[in-house]
Amino acid sequence: MIKAVITSFTLSLLLMSTPGGAHSDASKSSDYNKSTVSVVNSAALSYAEKKLAFEQHVEEVYEQAGLEKTGLDFTVFERAYTGYRNFRQQNLASADKHVMTVVDFSKPSNSKRMWIIDLKSRKVLYNTLVAHGRNTGNVKAEKFSNEPNSNMSSIGFYVTDKTYHGKHGLSLRLSGMDEAYNSNAMERAIVLHGADYVSEDFVKQYGRLGRSLGCPAVSRAISSDVIELIKDNTVLYIHSGDKKYTSTYLDTDAAVEAYALEATELLDKSV
């Protein structure tokens, strides 16, 4: 019985959040949602049930987006998605944009270690190269800092801000949201911008990307499109192998409750 409730709860959210609902079978999805609403409303789910539903949901998004074959580790995605849910629940991220950006600096710079994911359509929009700071490391990103003039990358959660035109052309300001790790991003002018030293040709010649002064720089060929896509309050998570990293936005309990709340609200609107 519990498994049935959880499955209905999870799948109903998938139906509501996927364009076109349950593909072409609209009548079945409508009946399914109505029966699920009665289950959810008549007997509140326990936290254990909601957590299991959330875990299933995260796994399904990961699988349907085909993230494993692109090299994005599930644990990294799960952490990023947990933060994404909490940012949305706290109204810190755009309610209209469903994109999330993940950078995995535990991978070398000659690998495609940046993902921009449309969480609504469950598609990878970009999987591309991204540079780290010159004092963070050579091929691998090994050291990070939140200090001005460190020329190092900063890990953690960011919310994208406004664009501007500077020496690198169109650039995107980033608001660091983790006090101990990236809160000086604005002061340090840590922005997302395009750079000539981020390209496959550069990797072929030097075995790695060039390095920035701490900014997550991307290929100039796609930088404008990427910036326009993720600007204005979308979530960016920069991961590293630092096991000491903590963030208030990695609160799983809060993310579970946020997911459950959104699910029931969507279901209520469907009837």
Report the C-alpha gap between 215 and 233 in whole angstroms: 18
pLDDT at 21: 42
Taking alpha carbons only, the member of 117, 89, 91 closest to residue 103 is 117
- For residue 85, what pLDDT band results from cuts at 50, 70 and 90? very high
Q: Which residue has the higher pLDDT, 24 or 76?
A: 76
pLDDT of residue 38 exceeding 60: no
Tokens of 251: 């609160």
Q: What is the mean pLDDT of residues 43-55?
A: 88
User: How far apart are alpha carbons 4 and 1 in whole angstroms?
Assistant: 5
Quick one: pLDDT at residue 10? 53
Task: Read off the pLDDT of residues 94-149 as tens digits, 9 standing for 90 and up.
Answer: 999 999 999 999 999 999 999 999 999 999 999 999 999 999 999 999 999 999 99
The yes-or-no verdict on residue 15 having pLDDT over 70 is no
Count the Cβ atoms, other than its own, within 10 Å of residue 8.
Answer: 19
Predicted local distance difference test score (pLDDT) of residue 6 = 46
What is the Cα–Cα distance from 250 to 193, expressed in whole angstroms? 27
* Sequence ranges of the domains in the chain: 1-91+250-271, 93-240
Strands (E), 73-214: 99-104, 114-118, 123-128, 156-166, 169-176, 191-195
Name the residue with tokens 């960016």.
Answer: 236
**Euclidean distance between CA atoms 100 and 111, whole angstroms:** 19
Indicate if the pLDDT at residue 35 is higher than 70.
Answer: no
Task: Write the class of the CATH domain 93-240.
Answer: mainly beta
**Are 179 and 270 within 8 A, CB to CB?**
no
Tens digit of each residue's pLDDT (9 = 90 or more) over 154-169:
999 999 999 999 999 9
- The residue written with tokens 């009665």 in the block is 38
Q: Are 192 and 171 in contact (CB under 8 A)?
A: yes
Token pair of 166, please? Answer: 């500077």
Per-residue pLDDT band at 271 (split at 50, 70, 90):
low
The values of phi and psi at residue 263, to 5°, are: -60, -45
Mean of the per-residue pLDDT values for the chain?
A: 87
Name the band, by pLDDT with cuts 50, 70 and 90, for residue 264.
confident
